[in-house]
Each structure stands twice: as structure tokens, then as C-alpha cells.
Structure 1
Amino acid sequence: MSKRRVFPHTPAEWPFFYGWVVLAVGAMGTLATAPGQTIGVSVFNDFLIEVLSINRVLLSTAYMIGTTTSAVFLARAGRVLDRRGSRVVGTVAAAGLGLSIFGMTQIDRAAAGLASVFGGTVIPAAIALSFGFFLLRFFGQGVLMLSSRNMILKWFDRSRGKVNAILGVTVTLGFSYAPRVFEAVIRAHSWRVAWALVGTAVLGFAVVAAVFYRDNPTMYGLIPDGPLRDRPKRRRVWVPRRFANLTPIGATTGEDRTLGEARKTVTFWVFLLVLTLSSAIGTAFTFHVVSIFETAGLSRLSAVAVFLPASVVGIVVKFISSWASDYVPIRIFPILHAAALVLHLVAIIVLRSPATIVLVIVAHGVMQGLLTVNASLAWPRLFGLAQLGTITGFTMTWTVIGSAVGPYIFSVFFNLSGSYTLVSIILIPPCLVLAGLAIWAYRRHVPVTRG
């Protein structure tokens, strides 16, 4: 392996393993996507409704259109990531997200300009919002997240689960705190100033990405894990009877497969469909949480209060499951994830009293915690690194569409039945089927390097 020199510094010349720098800046890049995530956008919703003189239904529709459209382009972005690497793609994505946030500060003026062409107010507002949400979701939730996460996964192999645990805890805490920061700036100044400051910060991070992002350790004469790789590892294939004396399973990167080859396997679709359903149910719950609780006879305050304890549960589950992924076959986790989805839906159905809120908190936290393992660690473990960007771009397309469609489906069934019980009952059988398929795929064969 040759030591490739890259301006302004070469990773091989650092006094310690550069993977730790990659983990730090990759975590920063993931946190920088917060303005493009649902949790970051939602803080500005009421101000958008006010300045555009629209209702919440139109806002939600524009958000769904923008999110779904961004998902269509993510598969292509994943292929570009494989060709150009995380440094180029991550830098461009951060710059694009920063400029998009600045554009959102002028959303009402953009709508007014479109009104001079189309007339009226509804269509111009819908077009401006849909395009603005498309840019936020594509660059934020999509490309910057994809490039940052994939970069980290390439720099670690045997320690990938532990590193992902650190990343998961950091990102969960950051995302949970981001709305408070945005809200504080809005109260101190205004929503335009808040978005302008956030946009400036993200543009600043684009410089950080250009300087410190590096795609693959082998390009610089390094190997994944660095010095950690020299530690002796025992290999383990079958786990259930040996939980008492777990040892690391060894290298956790599978044989390189193309997206076409991956799509021919049952395991690929089990993971993908579990992730898609989880994205749909989790986003729908977050989007409609106040309505879900009020329908159950509980207060708005109780609804908003579930996210902090749920995030604590999620952090614990993320850390334990990510750490455990270095010791147990990865195919165990979609089974647990599907079971958590069933538990979440049951929690919505039985939600009636303060006592059942605990079940909602635990179910939501466990579901979100397992999402990290199945969305991040499964793909390199099962299908290698050669087309990781292409594969994760394709899978993210599905999960982003799930996050766009989920809230809409829940609202449709709520209008039909007056509650969220019917939609929850309807979604339980698909979750059970996926759990059964996951068990079947696990029991067929569980080779070490393939998960």
C-alpha cells in the first residue's frame, strides 16, 4: 500500500491512527445534518405557516413532496459517492446544505416572486416550499449523512460496532438538543436570523470536511482499525449457546457484492423492509405524537415529554447493540427490530393512561436504538465496501420515502376512523411477517464474515 500524499496533510503522517479523526469529523458531519432532519425543520414550521399564509396540511404535503423527491436522487448520489469519495461529496453536500438553509430565509419572497408568474398564493407557496424542503432533505438527511457515515464505516472493521456505538450516542444527544438551540436563537432574534446563523455554521463545516474528510485508509498506506487490528480475535459462528463467553467474531467486512447481487438475497430485503417500516412508523409517531396522545385522552405536555426519556433508552440500546454487533451475527438484529416495531404499534393501541406511557417510551427508544445498527453496520458486514455508497444510497431512498409516506398514511386512517388504532392494527401483520423472514434467513446459514 502506497502512502498517498494529499493537501493539506497526509493521514499516515499523523502521530496516532487517523481513524479517530475521521470518527470525530464524521460525527460533526452527521450532526450538521440536523437542519435537514425532521427534528430540525419542525421548529420552523409555525413561522413558515405564518409568513406564507398557509395551513398545516399544505405544509405537510410540501414536506412529503420534497422528501420523496429527494429520495429519488439518493441512489444516484450513492453511486457518485463510490466514484468520488466522501471528501468531495461530503464537502459539496455541506456547502449545498448551508446555501439551502440560507435560501429558506427568503422562502416567502421566493413564493411572492412565483405568485407574480402563476398568480394566487397557494400554488406559489407549495412550489417554493416543496423545492426548499427537497434541498434540505437531499443535502442534509441524504448526501451529507450518507458520506459522513460511510466514511467512518470504511476506517474501522473489527471495531466498527464499538465506533458506531460512540457515534450513535453522540448523534442522539446532539439531535435531541438541536431543537432547543434553534428555539433559543429564534426567541433571541428571529426565525430568519436563526436559519442564517445555522447556514453559516454548516458552510463553515464544509471547510472542515474539505480539510479532514478522507474516504478510505488503504489509499494512504493505512489499514482499517489501525493498531487495534493487531489484537488477537477469536472467530465465532453460532452464538445462542455461547452467550456466556462471547468473544469478537473477527473481521466484520463481508465479501464485496454489487447492488444487483445484494438485491437477489432475502437478507437484503429483510433488512431493507424492516428499516423502511421503522422509518415510516417512527416518523409518523413523531409527526403526530400530540394528536396520538390527545386521542388517547392524554395531554399535549405528556406527548412532548416522551422524547427525552425515549432518547435515553435509545442511547442505551444503541450502545449495547452496536457493541454486541462485534460479537454476535448481524442477522439477529432485524429480528429484534421487527419485534420492537410490533411493540411500538401495540403501545399506540393500548395508550390510555399515564402508566402506558412507559411502554411507549421503551418501545420508541428500543426501535430508534436498533435503527442505528441495521442502517449502518449491516451493509458493510453483509456486502462489503466496494459499492457501499451505491447500496446505502439505494437503501436510504427507501427509508426516506418511508419517512415521507408514514405520517401521511397515519393521517389518512385517522380521518377515516378518528383514532390511530386501525392503522396500528393493520401494520402489525407485516412486521410479524418480516420477523418470521428474518428468523428464517438467520437459521438458514450464518457465516462469520457475512453476518
Structure 2
Amino acid sequence: MNETAKPNYLTFAYRNRRILSFGFLMAFGSSFGQTYFVGIFSPSIEAEFELTHTKWGGIYMAGTLLSAALLPFSGRLIDHMSVRKYAIIVACGMAVACIAMALAPAAWTLILTIFLLRQFGQGLCQHTAVTGMVKYFDRDRGKAVAIAILGFPAGRALLPVIAVSLIAIIGWQYSYVLCGIAGLLMIPVIVWLLPAQTRLANSETSLPILTGLSNDRRLGDMLRDPFFFMMLPALMAPAILETAMNFHQLTIANMKGWSPEWVTGGYAIFAVMTVVFSMIAGDLADRIGAARLMPFGLLPLAAGVLVVAYFDHYIWAWVYLGFFGVSSGLMVTCIPLLLAEVYGTRHIGAIRSFAATVSVFGSALAPPMLGYGLDAEVSLHKMAIIGALYVVIASLLMAYACHKENNRPK
């Protein structure tokens, strides 16, 4: 293979199997702090602490907002220590978060446990998986991110089913203790997958050094860049819509006449579409750049919301989840690659963690926003149309921003 040849996915994955497995592990581990996983425990937690849906939603929002506030500071630490050490700290934090949830003595302490779960699970585990790949790979960065984030759909497909079974057998507290043990078991795996010095199969540069390009810019530069603010609505769109519909998925299913079993079964479709389109996006981003792909990433999300707005037959539940999976695969792959293309990789930890904060903030507001609409008896059709219009506007703004960026003098 000559120096500029692009390896296929299988060749690339085999050559870099340890670092890619690390990325997959961290992405998979982030499931413990994701909304869809915490939501499995919601009925048990509400019953244990005698919480209404509104109170539990408020606790979840408060913990998530606290996590979002800290994320720009905790996320940038990955720029100042080895990814290996950072990942070990994150895994420890996630284990503590799970065990703290199991031992929560009163309802008010749930704010702290949700903060810890969202910070170390949904926030930093995900951040480590994606930022690690961006830092470790220069060539074929798109493929690296696409392979690592396969841990997200894998966790979404497997862990809810396992959690439901465990709760039925041993109860929700002991189930969370097992989640904490799983977090601790990640530590020796991280140490094995990331030795202190590892060399990439397709690079002559050792991993810890491969962290900068000529266009490296700092977080302050990004916050003064109009491109970032034009990109903000697109960054927030998936977090707002997916989180809102995940948190209220059973209520929406009831309104549409879809059985809960049928809707949750559709997450397999979501996972498959996420995998397929993340792989496609990773390869295309290596070839033509993420900036040319980003404007199209949200369009399937708009299509999925419109399906919810206009169709009631149960088969459409899987169609909307399929569209959401397409958008998830495209956006989760393209966002970190676009940030690296525009701002470089030397300070990517600080830059990506700030971008993630915006998404987490959106995910915190989404459940009460949709919940308020449902309580006010606003029709699901109207709310879905509003969501779709927002996504289309965000896509057009993203297209304009990327067009300007592609024509910016380098």
C-alpha cells in the first residue's frame, strides 16, 4: 500500500484494533449515563421515593444542568494529561456514580447522583471515546471515529434489555451496583488497551505526539468565530428532539396507539441505521471532509419527526426510529470531525467539551419542554411540526456556515 492509499475498514480496524477497541469501550460505557438507560429505572425510582413524573423530571433536569455547567472545565483536562489516565479517572467516576445511585438515601440526593451519572457517563465517557480518536488519528480520522462510536448503538441495543431483566430479578438498587462493578472492570481493560506508549499501524508518530495540525485554535478563538454560532442550532437539534422523545417515549406511544414492546423493539432498527450511516459518514468524511456532509445530517431527523406528526399506523414507529438512527450515525460522526477540521486538534478537548455542553444543555431542557406541552394538551402533531421546522432552519444555517467555511482563506 502506498503512502497516500486509504485502507478499507477491515484493514484499518485490524491494524489499530487496540485503540479502536478502547474507543468502542468508552462509547459503550457512556450508556450508563444516557437518558434511554436511566429512563429504564424511572418507574422504580419514582415508586421508591414517591415522586411524581414532574418532580422526577425536574430532578433529572437539575442534575443534567449541573453536569453541563461543569463539562467545559472537566472536558478540557483531556488536553493536559494522557488519554489513558483521563479514561481511568472517568471510569472510576462512573462506577462511583452508579453505586451512589444505588445507595441514594433520599429524593434530594438524586440530584447529585444524576449529576454524577450525566457527568461521567453521558458526558465524559462519550467525550473520551470521540476526542481520543480525534487526538490519536490524523489520517483516517473519520474511520476511527465511526468505528469507536459503534459502542453507542451497541449499548442502546443491549443494555436496556439486560437492565429490565436485572430489575425484575434483583431489584433496581442491586442492578445499579452491578453497573458500578462494570465501571470498575473497565479500568484494567483500559490499561491493557492503552499501554503507555503505542504506535499506530499507519503512522510513524507515536500516539501521544499526534495531537496538532497547522490550523490549531483555542476555545477563545472558537467563541469569537461566527461559524460556531451558526452551527449551534444544529448541535442542539439532536439533543433536544431525541432526548425529549426518549424521555416521553411511552407517553408518545400511548398517544399514537403503539405498544411499548413494539416501540422498544424498534431500537434495533435505530441501532442498525446508526451503525450503517456512521460507517458511511466516516469514509466520506475522510474523502471529502465533514463540512460537506454536515448540512445533510439533520434532514433524516426532520423526516422522523414528520412521520410522528402525520402517521399513526404502528409500522411507522420503526420508520421514525430508523430515520433517527440515520441522523444519529451521520451527526455523531461528523460533529467531532468538523470541529477538528475547522479548529485543529491541539485543544480539541476544550473545544469539543464546550460543544458537548451546548448539547447537554439542550438535552436538559427538552423533557420539561415537551412535558409542558403535553400537560397543556398541545397536540403532538403541532409540536412535531414545530420540531421539524426548527431542524430544517438549523440545516439551512449549517449549510450556509459550511459553505462559508469551505471558501474561507486558509
Distance 1:208 1:262 in 2: 35
What is the CA–CA distance in structure 2 between the aligned matches of 1:419 and 1:307, rounded to whole Å?
25
Which segments of 5 or more consecutive residues in structure 2 lack a partner in the other structure?
1-12, 207-211
C-alpha distance in 1 between matches for 2:188 and 2:409: 37
Whole-angstrom distance in 1 between the partners of 2:15 and 2:280: 25
The superposition leaves residues 392-435 of structure 1 with CA deviations (integer Å, 9 ceiling, x where unpaired) of: 11011111111111121111112223432222222333323222
Q: Deviation at 1:389?
A: 0.6
2:59 to 38, 62, 69: 62
CA separation of 1:73/1:162 partners in 2, compared to 1, >3 Å: closer, same or farther?
same
Instruction: Kindly indicate whether the alpha-carbon contact (under 8 Å) linking 2:21 and 2:193 is maintained by their aligned counterparts in 1.
Output: no
Q: Distance in 2 between matches of 1:312 and 1:101?
A: 28
**Percent identity of paired positions between Structure 1 and Structure 2:** 23
Residue in 2 that maps onto 1:309: 269
Quick one: which of 254, 257, 271 aligns to 1:294?
254
Rate the CA distance shift 1:222–1:302 in 2: closer, same or farther, 3 A.
Answer: closer
User: Is the counterpart of residue 150 in structure 1 residue 160 in structure 2?
Assistant: no
Q: Is the 8 A contact 1:19 1:226 kept in 2?
A: no
Cα deviation, 1:51-107, whole Å, max 9, x if unaligned, reads 212222211111111011101000001222211232222211111110121111111
Q: Which residue of 2 aligns with 1:106?
A: 103
**CA offsets per residue over residues 298-320 of structure 1, 9 Å max, x none?**
33333323222122122211111
The corresponding residue for 1:174 is 155
Which residue in the other structure is 1:259 paired with?
219
1:448/1:202 Cα in 2 relative to 1: closer, same or farther (>3 Å)?
Answer: farther
For 2:232, the aligned partner's letter is L
Aligned to 1:370: 330
1:330-378 CA-to-partner distances (Å, cap 9, x unmatched) read 1123311232232222122112223543541332122211221233322
Match of 2:71 among 60, 69, 74: 74
The residue that corresponds to 1:11 in the other structure is none
Which structure is larger by alpha-carbon Rg, 1 or 2? 1
Letter in 2 for 1:139: F
Cα RMSD after superposing both structures: 2.9
Indicate if the aligned counterparts of 2:84 and 2:191 stay in contact, CA closer than 8 A.
yes
**What CA distance in whole angstroms lies between the structure 1 residues aligned with 2:51 and 2:153?**
32
Match of 2:381 in 1: 421
Aligned to 1:88: 85
* Residue identity in the other structure for 2:171: S
Match of 1:349 among 292, 296, 309: 309
Q: Give the AA of the match of 2:17.
A: W
The aligned counterpart of 1:209 is 190
Question: Shift of the alpha carbon at 1:192?
Answer: 2.2
Question: For residue 151 of structure 1, what is the amino acid of its counterpart?
Answer: G
Q: Secondary structure at the match of 1:386?
A: coil
* SS of structure 2 residue aligned to 1:226: coil
Q: Please give the alpha-carbon distance, in whole angstroms, between the structure 2 residues aligned to 1:135 and 1:367.
A: 28
Which residue of structure 2 lines up, in the alignment, with residue 41 of structure 1? 38
Deviation at 1:203, TM superposition (A): 1.3
Give the corresponding residue for 1:232. Answer: none
Select 2:366's aligned residue among 406, 412, 419.
Answer: 406
Code of the residue aligned with 2:184 in structure 1: it is L
Aligned to 1:226: 203
Asked if residue 191 in structure 1 is aligned to residue 172 in structure 2, the reply is yes
- Of 28, 32, 44 in structure 2, the residue corresponding to residue 31 of structure 1 is 28
**Cα distance per residue 1:9-37 (max 9 Å; x no partner):** xxxxxxx9985322212221221222111
Identify which range, 380-389 or 426-435, moves more after superposition.
426-435
Count residues with an aligned counterpart. 394
Residue 21 of structure 1 is matched in structure 2 by 18
One-letter amino acid of the structure 2 residue matched with residue 128 of structure 1? T
Distance in structure 2 (CA, Å) of the matches to 1:390 and 1:97: 20
- The two structures have a TM-score, normalised by structure 2, of 0.87
Q: Normalising to structure 1: TM-score of the pair? A: 0.80
Residue from 222, 228, 239 that aligns with 1:268: 228
Deviation at 1:43, TM superposition (A): 2.1
Cα deviations by residue, 1:133-157 (Å, 9 ceiling, x for unpaired): 0011111111222123211221212
Deviation (angstroms), 1:223: 6.5
Call closer, same or farther: CA 1:294–1:98 in 2, change over 3 Å.
Answer: same
Match of 1:249 in 2: none
The Cα offsets for residues 90-128 of structure 1, whole Å up to 9 and x where unpaired, read as 211111110121111111xx21xxxxxxxxxxxxx1x21
* Mapped contact 1:254–1:380 kept (Cα < 8 A): no
Instruction: Please give the residue correspondences for 1:374-385 in structure 2 after superposition, counting only pairs within 5 Å.
Output: 374-385=334-345
AA aligned to 1:149 is: V
Indicate the larger mover: 404-413 or 190-199: 190-199
The structural deviation recorded for 1:441 is 2.6
Structure 2 CA distance for partners of 1:66 and 1:224, relative to 1, 3 Å: farther
| Cα separation, 2, equivalents of 1:69 and 1:305 | 32
The answer as to whether partners of 2:304 and 2:324 remain within 8 angstroms in 1 is yes
The 3 A distance-change label for structure 1 pair 163 and 413 is: same
